[in-house]
Chains A and B, each alone.
Chain A
Amino acid sequence: MIRSIARLVRVSVRTPAGAIWRFALLGCSLFFVLLPRAAAQEPPYFVTYSSALEEPGNLEISLRNTQAAPQNGNSFLGSALEFEYGVKGWWTTEFYLDGQATRNDSTIFTGFRWENRFRPLLREHFINPVLYVEYENTNHADRSLLEIVGHDSVADLLIPNAAARQEVEREMELKLILSSNTHGWNFSENFIAEKSLNESEPWEFGYALGASRPLSLISRGKTCFFCRENFSVGAEWYGGLGTTDGFGWKATSQYLGPTVSFDIPRGPTVLFSPQFGLNDNSAHVLYRFSVSYEVQQVWNMLRRKND
């Protein structure tokens, strides 16, 4: 996998779009190194959302990547640069910039997303609902695979970039997020409904389930690098549920895989997950990895220190 990513990066730097991505990655790396950070309390999921919202005033910057080599197709690296900001205790907003690099093809910017999550109940319950609203403006070449809906299939990943980028989709996505925290475990269930705004297509549905737990429930006083309290492990299971014209598991992708996160002391949080396709419409395996960095009270940095 590492070799194929290295190849993709080499592809990406040969093209102008690749150079832009390289500078974006370099900028993010510098940002991660220069700013103070803190551990977020989000579970180690790539697709599933929990009820954990960003703390008010905090900004989390993440680079989420998905690498896969579909059967009879070129391997690709889909990336999403995510900016997540806690507006209120009950409201988090996120902005994504998506791009991808495909081997033997090209590196392109594929679009943007703007999402908002609202917590309608202000107290903690056994099941905590969160409402999610997203506007997407991405083209068909998008490979970030942040959700699977409708009849999304591995065949979509075989279309050459030049053809796929011609078709731009403006979509509204709604999610009902249910999440529970008990005995150190997090259990989250997402129900997804997506509607195209520029074409008269049926509603598309999907789901995502996740369970996770930190390896240690208590913190040791000493700063340590590879100690259990810095790791969380879990599993995700997600896929499409068809459309209003044909609801169900047929002709859509399904994935299942373990996830692990590592909170690097005084550094970013790193997530990794191999996710395995469960049917012929899925890629054999998606390798997902992300680096995220939380900047606490971002506006305080702009104020005078002795304020």
Chain B
Amino acid sequence: MSEKFLVRRRGATQPRRMLFRAMPGLGALILCMALADGSWMQKVPADYHLKVNPYAGQAAAIAGGAKLFADHCAKCHGADALGRRKRPSLRSERVQVQATEGDIFWLLKNGNLGRGMPTWSAIPEPSRWQIIAYVKSLGPASGPAAALNSSQEKSE
């Protein structure tokens, strides 16, 4: 077999070999894209989904939650909770309507470490419920800024 033929043969199989090698990577990429549609709510166990906030609607707890929110959350999500840059709005339909308080409690406990949301498990449980009571008390936002932030969240 001549050397010229061998070189041509290697050239012919190289793209196929490269494709074969890239298959696991492509698979992982597709899996990541499927998981990264922002639907963290799908990961929430049923017992968390049904949890009820013991401080819901309590004015004193909401005031405490506002203080905790300003300390821990406002820098990323904005003082008005409408989101900043790539950080999602907390006044979107997803957070305010679709997510239960238990869902948000689960998110605060576990975070979404791969996507930049830290865990807040070191904050005591009652304080986390206070933050949730405050966020839920804000209600959904309307207007162009809220719509823009909401669309950014969906694209994440």
Which residues on the B side are within 8 Å of A214 (C-beta)? 124
Q: Once the chains are docked, how many angstroms separate the CA of A146 from the CA of B85?
A: 38
| Interface pair B122/A38, CB less than 8 Å apart | no
Q: Which of A39, A43, A186, A217 contacts B126 (CB 8 A)?
A: A217
Q: Once the chains are docked, how many angstroms separate the CA of A128 from the CA of B119?
A: 11
Q: Which of A38, A53, A222 contacts B75 (CB 8 A)?
A: A38
Q: Which of B60, B116, B127 contacts A56 (CB 8 A)?
A: B116
| Interface pair B72/A218, CB less than 8 Å apart | no
Most buried by A among B68, B71, B109, B130: B71
| Interface pair A55/B121, CB less than 8 Å apart | no
Which residues on the A side are within 8 Å of B61 (C-beta)? 218
Interface residues of A in 36-64 (CB under 8 A from B): 38-39, 41-43, 50-53, 55-57
| B37-68 interface bits toward A, Cβ cutoff 8 Å, 1 = contact, 0 = none | 00000000000000000000000111111111
| Interface pair B114/A122, CB less than 8 Å apart | yes
Task: Report if B151 contacts A (CB, 8 A).
Answer: no
Q: Which of B76, B113, B130 contacts A219 (CB 8 A)?
A: B130
| A54-85 interface bits toward B, Cβ cutoff 8 Å, 1 = contact, 0 = none | 01110000000000000000000000000000
| Interface pair B126/A218, CB less than 8 Å apart | yes
Write the nearest CB–CB distance from B146 to chain A, whole angstroms.
18
Q: Once the chains are docked, how many angstroms separate the CA of A307 from the CA of B75?
A: 14
Which residues on the A side are within 8 Å of B110 (C-beta)? 122-124
Which residues on the A side are within 8 Å of B64 (C-beta)? 218-221
Closest residue to B70 on the A side, CB-wise? A38
| Interface pair B121/A124, CB less than 8 Å apart | yes
| Interface pair A124/B109, CB less than 8 Å apart | yes
Which residues on the B side are within 8 Å of A151 (C-beta)? none
Residue count of chain A within 8 Å CB distance of chain B = 37
Task: Report if A119 contacts B (CB, 8 A).
Answer: yes
Write the nearest CB–CB distance from B151 to chain A, whole angstroms.
18
Of the candidate stretches A20-28, A86-94, A274-282, the one touching chain B is: A86-94
| Interface pair B122/A181, CB less than 8 Å apart | yes
Task: Report if A296 contacts B (CB, 8 A).
Answer: yes
Task: Report if A297 contacts B (CB, 8 A).
Answer: yes
Task: Report if A246 contacts B (CB, 8 A).
Answer: no
| A105-127 interface bits toward B, Cβ cutoff 8 Å, 1 = contact, 0 = none | 00000000000000100111000
Which residues on the B side are within 8 Å of A16 (C-beta)? none
Q: Once the chains are docked, how many angstroms separate the CA of A220 from the CA of B66?
A: 10
Q: Which of B60, B71, B84, B115 contacts A38 (CB 8 A)?
A: B71
Which residues on the B side are within 8 Å of A218 (C-beta)? 61, 64, 124, 126-127, 130
Write the nearest CB–CB distance from A48 to chain B, whole angstroms.
14
| A198-219 interface bits toward B, Cβ cutoff 8 Å, 1 = contact, 0 = none | 0000000000000000100111
Q: Known contacts A218-B61, A219-B64, A219-B130; is A181 also within 8 Å of B113 by CB? A: no
Known: A124-B109, A220-B63. 15 other contacts (CB 8 A): A38-B75, A39-B72, A88-B113, A89-B111, A89-B117, A90-B113, A124-B121, A183-B124, A184-B125, A214-B124, A217-B127, A218-B64, A220-B64, A221-B62, A307-B85
Q: List 10 tightest A-B contacts by C-beta distance, closest first.
A: A221-B63, A89-B113, A219-B64, A296-B75, A217-B124, A41-B122, A184-B124, A122-B113, A55-B118, A90-B113
